[in-house]
Amino acid sequence: MKKRHFLLALVLLITFTGGFFAGFSYNKQQPIENLTIDKVSPSGKQPEVKQSPEIKQEQSKVLIGYVQDFRDPDVVDYDKLTHVIFSFAHPTKDGHLLMNGESALKNLRKMVIKAHKQDTKAILAIGGWYHISGGESYDYFKSAITNTQSRTKLINELVSIAEREKLDGIDIDFEHPRSREDAKNLALFTKALSIKLHKAEIELSIAVNAKVHSVAGTEINNVVYNSSMFQHVDHVNIMAYDGHWDGSYNAANLSPYSYNENIVKYWTNLFEQNNISKDKLVLGVPFYAQPEDPSIKQISYETIINKDPANASQDTVKLNGTTYHYNGEITVQKKTKLALDYGFGGMMVWEAGHDSKGEHSLTSVISNVLTNANLVAVKDTTN
C-alpha cells in the first residue's frame, strides 16, 4: 500500500515538474507583448478598478465670421472660426430665393469645401440691409414672411439649398422688424424654419439689432422682436456696431466698449427674464473703420494695419486727412472677455474678409481669449 502511494507521488512529481519546465521553455520563446499575466487578489476579492477622472468638456465658445458673397473665400481664416456665414441670399416678395449670380454660388460652394476641411460649419445668411433687386431688403423680406404661402415657399427653398449645398446652417438677417406684426411674422417664420432644419440636423441662427441707443443707453423701440422666437434658434448674433447712426452722425459711436457694456447688459436681462440660455448669445464686433466724414467710404481693419502695424493698439487713426474710428486689439480683447463674463456663447465678426493677416489679426485675438477661457473651464471641472 505504501509502495503504491510512493509510485503515485513519484508520477505526480514527474508530471508537474515536466509541465513546469515545458511551460517555462515555451514562455521564454514568446515576445513580451504576447504574455498574459493574471493577477489574483490575495483575499480572493477582485481589486476595484480605479476610474480615470472624467474631464467634462464645456461646449466650446463659438467664433462666427460673416463673409460677403463677392469675397474670395481663400482670404478667410477658417482654422480660427467655428462658423462662417456666407452673406447673402435674397428673398423675393413671393418667397423665392435669389443669389447674386453664378459667381456668388461658385464662391458659396468654394467656401463650404474650405470650411469643412477645417471642421468649420458653413452657413448661408438670408437678408442683409440691401437687396439684390435694389433698395433695402426690408420690404422684400417683410412680404415674404407675411402670408402663409410665401412663407412656406421661402422655408422650403432654404431647406432645399441647405441640403443641396451641404450647408450646416441658415442665418436669418431681417433688418429690421419695425412693428408687432413684423415681429409676429418673423417669429412664425423662425419657428417653422427651425422645425424643418433641426429635423435635418441643420442649425439656425439669427442676426439681431443691438436694441440699445449708443448715445442715450436706452432701449431702441423702433426695432421689435418677439422674444419667444429665440427659443427656436441656436445662436443670436448681436450686431453691436453701427452706433454712429444713433442721433446725429458720430463715427466715434461705431462701437466703443462702453456701448457694448450696455448691449451685453440689455440682452443678458432679456434672456434671463425669458428663461433662455445666455449661451445662445453671440456678441458682434466690427472689422471695419468708420470715417468722421460720412461722405467718405468705410475702410477695413486690414487697410489700417497695412498702413502701420502700430495702429493695432489704437481705436482711431488719421489717413489721407480723415479720422477713422475702429476697434483695435485691446478693445476687441476686452469685448470678448466682457461677453464671456456675462455667460455669452461666443463672438461674431463683420466681416471676416476685413481682417488683417498675420500677427495683428483680430480673429486671432478673439480666438486666443476664447481658447484660454475653454481651457480654464475644463481645468476647473477636474479639480
- CATH no. for residue 141? 3.20.20.80
**pLDDT value of residue 14:** 41
Per the structure, the complete domain to which residue 212 belongs is given by 62-289+327-375
Cell numbers that stand for 190 in this block: 423662425
User: Is there a contact between 236 and 263 (Cβ–Cβ < 8 Å)?
Assistant: no
- Give how many domains the chain has, as a whole number: 1
Mean pLDDT calculated for residue range 249-262: 98
Q: For residue 51, is it within any domain?
A: no
Question: Over 70: is that where the pLDDT of 355 sits?
Answer: yes
Q: For residue 315, is it within any domain?
A: no
Instruction: Report the C-alpha gap between 168 and 203 in whole angstroms.
Output: 6
* Range 194-233 burial, b when 16+ CB lie within 10 A, else e: bebbeeeebbbbbbbbbbbbbeeeeebeebbbbeebbebb
Q: For residue 338, is it within any domain?
A: yes
- The string of pLDDT tens digits covering residues 15-55 is 444 443 334 333 333 332 332 323 333 333 344 444 443 33
- Relative to beta strand 83-91, strand 97-98 is antiparallel
User: Is there a contact between 247 and 259 (Cβ–Cβ < 8 Å)?
Assistant: no
**pLDDT value of residue 7:** 38
Q: Is the Cα torsion angle 202, 349, 127, 221 positive or negative in sign?
A: positive
Question: Over 90: is that where the pLDDT of 274 sits?
Answer: yes
Q: How many helices (H) and strands (E) does the chain have?
A: 9, 13
User: Is there a contact between 356 and 366 (Cβ–Cβ < 8 Å)?
Assistant: no
Q: For residue 215, is it within any domain?
A: yes
Q: Which of 339, 363, 340 is nearest to 351 (CA)?
A: 363
**Local confidence band at 188 (pLDDT 50, 70, 90 cut-offs):** very high
Q: For residue 303, is it within any domain?
A: no
Q: For residue 294, is it within any domain?
A: no
